[in-house]
Structure formats: structure tokens, C-alpha cells
């Protein structure tokens, strides 16, 4: 069992190692070997809610970290596009491609801002309705 007896939520050290191995290795057999447990044990742990939740949480944290890295590099990427777009020595197709990419990203940002604004307004209307107000149009 992946849980410490009597705790219900805390994973054993081996189970925590298995979660880390699942994040690092592409297959369950490789992850089991790296964690020092049998494949059968790892498959059983994957059936336990606490283990699955810990694994989901760890995967989500990895994705959040990757997104932060992409966001950090996005300024540099835009600068490269800007340099290519404005460089008269760049090929015309490279300059057009860079300009098109900049425009597409700018439009997407405006669309996301608009959607966020509309979502905030809709959430406010729902909250007012829940508090006993009218469903105003």
C-alpha cells in the first residue's frame, strides 16, 4: 500500500520515489525499476486515489514550471522576431513571417484579454444571482 498506516494521505517514501520516477521515465517498467519497486506494485499504487492525486499534482507542477520557463523566454522570442522583421538583410520571406507572427500574437493577446473581461463580468452576474439578485440581461 502506498499510504502510511493511519494517515490516509501521506505517501510512503517509496511511493514518493515512484511518483518522481513516473515523471522522469516514459514507461511504467522503467519507472518501477528506478523507484526500486515491482511493476505490479506500481500498477497497484496507480489504482489508489492518494497516489494518483500525488502523481497528478506533481505533473501539474511540472507543467506550471514549463509554462513559467516559456513565459520567461517569450520576451526574447519577440525580440528575435522584431530584429528579423526590421533587418533589411533578412530575406523577405523571413521578414514577412516574423511580421505575421508578431501580428498573430498581438491579436491573440487582445482576444484573450477580451475573453477574460467577459468572463469576469459573467462571473459577477452569476454571483449577484446567487446572492438573491435578479438575472439581469
Average pLDDT over residues 1-8: 48
Q: Mean of the per-residue pLDDT values for the chain?
A: 89
The answer, yes or no, to whether residue 100 has pLDDT greater than 60, is yes
The answer, yes or no, to whether residue 4 has pLDDT greater than 50, is no
Q: Would the pTM count as exceeding 0.85?
A: no
Residue 134 has what pLDDT?
73
Residue 1 has what pLDDT?
54
Contact 2, 41 (CB under 8 A): no
Q: Is the dihedral of CA 17, 19, 25, 31 positive or negative?
A: positive
Amino acid at each position: 500500500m502506498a499510504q502510511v498506516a493511519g494517515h490516509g494521505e501521506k505517501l510512503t517514501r517509496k511511493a514518493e520515489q515512484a511518483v518522481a520516477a513516473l515523471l522522469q521515465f516514459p514507461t511504467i517498467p522503467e519507472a518501477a525499476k528506478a523507484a526500486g519497486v515491482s511493476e505490479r506494485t506500481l500498477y497497484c499504487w496507480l489504482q489508489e486515489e492518494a497516489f494518483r492525486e500525488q502523481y497528478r499534482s506533481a505533473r501539474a507542477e511540472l507543467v506550471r514550471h514549463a509554462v513559467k520557463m516559456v513565459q520567461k523566454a517569450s520576451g526574447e522570442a519577440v525580440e528575435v522576431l522584431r530584429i528579423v522583421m526590421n533587418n533589411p538583410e533578412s530575406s523577405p520571406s523571413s521578414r514577412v513571417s516574423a511580421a505575421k507572427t508578431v501580428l498573430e500574437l498581438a491579436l491573440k493577446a487582445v482576444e484573450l484579454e477580451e475573453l477574460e473581461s467577459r468572463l469576469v463580468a459573467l462571473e459577477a452576474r452569476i454571483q449577484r444571482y446567487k446572492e438573491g439578485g435578479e438575472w439581469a440581461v
